[in-house]
Amino acid sequence: MVQRAVVIVCDSFSPPGLYFAKSMRATAVALAGALVAALLPACQSTSMAPTTPSAQTPTTTSASNISGTWNGTGSDSYSPELVTWVLTQSGTSVTGTVEFKPLDTADGSCASCHKVKKGTFSGTLSGSALSVAMNFPAGGDVPTPICVAGLNGTATVGDRRITATYSGTDTCEGLFADGRIELSRP
């Protein structure tokens, strides 16, 4: 309920017969102040404004389970590559295998050998953010079994898509910089 007070404003230029109106104004102001003081505690405990349902704050949850096989392409300061991640997720922990292959295995370039890598994947998923650690140990059935590589970065997980950035080193080839990976799954 809205209550209104009528206030008559008079100034020093008013005719002398309006003195009564000036005293009424003072009384009205005093009553309005008393009314506000009396109602203020009631307003603090309940709201007079209409209420609307509050919007639910979205919760940050891990993206849907990212376990499975992810395929795509990548590139870095060294060369482009084909990429496969086979991941297993348990809570926020993500582990698995990673494999790099050159785009053209028969082109005779160093990349045709040094981009053949098989290793391990580990990371932590927080919402849609995924930390990325790819480690390629020495040995195995790759053309350069004496080379060790470690690549680290971050990824963003979307619906059926992962985009990642990385950098790192290879004991045979040196620095890998400006790495980017785009993966998807069926």
Q: What is the pLDDT of residues 78-137, one digit of tens each?
A: 889 999 999 999 999 999 999 999 988 777 777 677 788 999 999 999 999 999 999 999
| Domains contained in the chain, CATH given | 1-49 (no CATH), 68-184 (2.40.128.120)
CA distances from 24 to 9, 15, 58 (A): 10, 15, 55
Contacts of 161 by beta carbon, 8 Å cutoff, 6+ apart:
182, 183, 184
Q: What is the pLDDT of residues 22-76, one digit of tens each?
A: 444 444 444 445 444 444 444 444 444 444 444 443 333 345 799 999 999 999 9
Q: What is the pLDDT of residues 142-162, one digit of tens each?
A: 888 899 999 999 999 998 999
For the chain, count helices (H), then strands (E): 2, 8
pLDDT band at 140 (very low <50, low <70, confident <90, very high): confident
Residue type, 32: A
Give CA 150 to chain center in angstroms.
26
Q: In which region does residue 83 sit, left (phi positive, over 0), alpha (psi from -120 to 50) or beta (all else)?
A: beta
